[in-house]
Amino acid sequence: MIPARSPDPGLDAPERCRLVSEVLSRVGDKWSVLVVMTLGDRPRRFSELKRAIGSISQRMLTLTLRGLERDGLVARVVTPSIPPRVDYELTPLGKSLRGPVEALGRWAMAHQGEVQASRAAFDASSGTGGLA
Protein backbone atom coordinates (compact mmCIF):
# COMPACT_ATOMS: atom_id res chain seq x y z
CA MET A 1 0.00 0.00 0.00
CA ILE A 2 2.77 2.38 0.89
CA PRO A 3 4.74 3.54 -2.15
CA ALA A 4 7.99 3.57 -0.15
CA ARG A 5 10.50 3.67 -2.96
CA SER A 6 11.85 0.16 -2.84
CA PRO A 7 15.48 -0.36 -1.70
CA ASP A 8 16.70 1.60 -4.69
CA PRO A 9 19.31 -0.64 -6.29
CA GLY A 10 20.90 2.43 -7.82
CA LEU A 11 22.86 3.22 -4.67
CA ASP A 12 26.17 1.58 -3.99
CA ALA A 13 26.76 -0.37 -0.81
CA PRO A 14 28.81 2.18 1.14
CA GLU A 15 26.30 4.89 0.38
CA ARG A 16 23.37 2.74 1.46
CA CYS A 17 25.24 1.85 4.62
CA ARG A 18 25.79 5.51 5.42
CA LEU A 19 22.12 6.31 4.96
CA VAL A 20 21.00 3.37 7.00
CA SER A 21 23.26 4.15 9.89
CA GLU A 22 22.12 7.75 9.74
CA VAL A 23 18.56 6.58 10.18
CA LEU A 24 19.62 4.14 12.88
CA SER A 25 21.27 6.93 14.80
CA ARG A 26 17.86 8.45 15.34
CA VAL A 27 16.63 5.15 16.71
CA GLY A 28 19.86 4.86 18.60
CA ASP A 29 19.55 7.93 20.71
CA LYS A 30 18.43 7.66 24.27
CA TRP A 31 14.95 9.09 23.94
CA SER A 32 13.49 8.57 20.46
CA VAL A 33 12.54 4.98 20.98
CA LEU A 34 11.05 5.73 24.36
CA VAL A 35 8.96 8.52 22.90
CA VAL A 36 7.80 6.46 19.94
CA MET A 37 6.73 3.62 22.18
CA THR A 38 5.07 5.94 24.67
CA LEU A 39 3.19 7.63 21.87
CA GLY A 40 1.99 4.16 21.09
CA ASP A 41 -1.38 4.23 19.41
CA ARG A 42 -3.02 7.45 20.47
CA PRO A 43 -2.07 11.12 20.43
CA ARG A 44 -0.59 12.58 23.57
CA ARG A 45 -0.10 16.08 24.81
CA PHE A 46 3.33 17.46 25.53
CA SER A 47 3.07 17.32 29.30
CA GLU A 48 1.31 14.00 29.17
CA LEU A 49 4.34 12.58 27.39
CA LYS A 50 6.67 14.22 29.85
CA ARG A 51 4.85 12.74 32.79
CA ALA A 52 4.59 9.32 31.18
CA ILE A 53 8.32 9.14 30.54
CA GLY A 54 9.18 10.79 33.80
CA SER A 55 12.93 10.86 33.63
CA ILE A 56 13.15 13.05 30.52
CA SER A 57 13.83 16.76 30.81
CA GLN A 58 11.56 19.21 29.06
CA ARG A 59 14.44 20.29 26.90
CA MET A 60 15.20 16.80 25.64
CA LEU A 61 11.54 16.03 25.06
CA THR A 62 11.25 19.11 22.86
CA LEU A 63 14.43 18.26 20.99
CA THR A 64 13.46 14.62 20.53
CA LEU A 65 9.99 15.50 19.28
CA ARG A 66 11.44 17.99 16.80
CA GLY A 67 13.79 15.37 15.48
CA LEU A 68 11.05 12.81 15.12
CA GLU A 69 8.84 15.38 13.44
CA ARG A 70 11.60 16.28 11.03
CA ASP A 71 12.04 12.64 10.12
CA GLY A 72 8.32 12.27 9.52
CA LEU A 73 7.75 9.84 12.36
CA VAL A 74 5.62 12.11 14.48
CA ALA A 75 2.97 14.69 13.63
CA ARG A 76 2.51 17.83 15.67
CA VAL A 77 -1.02 19.15 16.00
CA VAL A 78 -1.50 22.58 17.51
CA THR A 79 -4.80 23.73 18.92
CA PRO A 80 -4.43 27.48 19.37
CA SER A 81 -6.31 28.06 22.60
CA ILE A 82 -5.44 29.56 25.94
CA PRO A 83 -3.66 27.79 27.39
CA PRO A 84 -2.27 26.33 24.17
CA ARG A 85 -2.69 22.65 23.47
CA VAL A 86 -0.29 20.60 21.40
CA ASP A 87 -0.79 16.95 20.57
CA TYR A 88 1.74 14.60 19.09
CA GLU A 89 0.93 11.40 17.32
CA LEU A 90 2.72 8.79 15.30
CA THR A 91 2.46 9.09 11.55
CA PRO A 92 1.99 5.89 9.54
CA LEU A 93 5.76 5.89 9.09
CA GLY A 94 6.22 6.22 12.83
CA LYS A 95 3.82 3.37 13.44
CA SER A 96 5.68 1.20 10.99
CA LEU A 97 8.73 1.58 13.17
CA ARG A 98 7.01 0.11 16.19
CA GLY A 99 7.24 -3.45 14.91
CA PRO A 100 11.02 -3.68 14.59
CA VAL A 101 11.52 -1.67 17.76
CA GLU A 102 9.25 -3.97 19.73
CA ALA A 103 11.21 -6.92 18.40
CA LEU A 104 14.34 -5.41 19.86
CA GLY A 105 12.54 -4.73 23.11
CA ARG A 106 11.45 -8.35 23.31
CA TRP A 107 15.01 -9.46 22.71
CA ALA A 108 16.19 -7.21 25.53
CA MET A 109 13.54 -8.57 27.87
CA ALA A 110 14.26 -12.14 26.97
CA HIS A 111 18.03 -11.92 27.30
CA GLN A 112 18.39 -9.29 29.98
CA GLY A 113 19.22 -11.95 32.53
CA GLU A 114 22.02 -13.42 30.46
CA VAL A 115 23.47 -10.01 29.82
CA GLN A 116 23.46 -9.14 33.49
CA ALA A 117 25.03 -12.44 34.43
CA SER A 118 27.71 -11.97 31.84
CA ARG A 119 28.45 -8.47 33.08
CA ALA A 120 28.75 -9.67 36.66
CA ALA A 121 31.12 -12.48 35.64
CA PHE A 122 33.20 -10.14 33.52
CA ASP A 123 33.49 -7.55 36.25
CA ALA A 124 34.35 -10.18 38.84
CA SER A 125 37.22 -11.67 36.85
CA SER A 126 38.38 -8.23 35.85
CA GLY A 127 38.79 -7.00 39.39
CA THR A 128 39.57 -9.98 41.61
CA GLY A 129 41.39 -13.16 40.79
CA GLY A 130 41.95 -12.43 37.15
CA LEU A 131 45.67 -12.09 37.46
CA ALA A 132 46.37 -10.31 40.73
Partner DNA sequence: CAGAATCCCATTGGATACTG
Partner DNA sequence: CAGTATCCAATGGGATTCTG
For residue 76, what are the contacts with CB-CB under 8 A and spacing of at least 6? 65, 69, 86, 87, 88
For residues 30 to 69, the per-residue mask of contacts with DNA, x marking binding by CB under 7 A and - elsewhere, is xx-------------xxxx------xxxxxx-x--xx---
For residues 66 to 85, the per-residue mask of contacts with DNA, x marking binding by CB under 7 A and - elsewhere, is x---------x-x----xxx
| DSSP SS3 for 75 | strand
In contact, 53 and 34? CB cutoff 8 Å: yes
- Kind of pairing between the strands at 85-90 and 44-45: antiparallel
- 106, interface contact from DNA, its own copies, none, CB < 5-8 Å by kind: its own copies
Binding site for its own copies (CB under 8 A): 4-8, 16, 19-21, 23-25, 27-30, 33-34, 69-72, 93, 96-97, 99-101, 103-119, 122-123
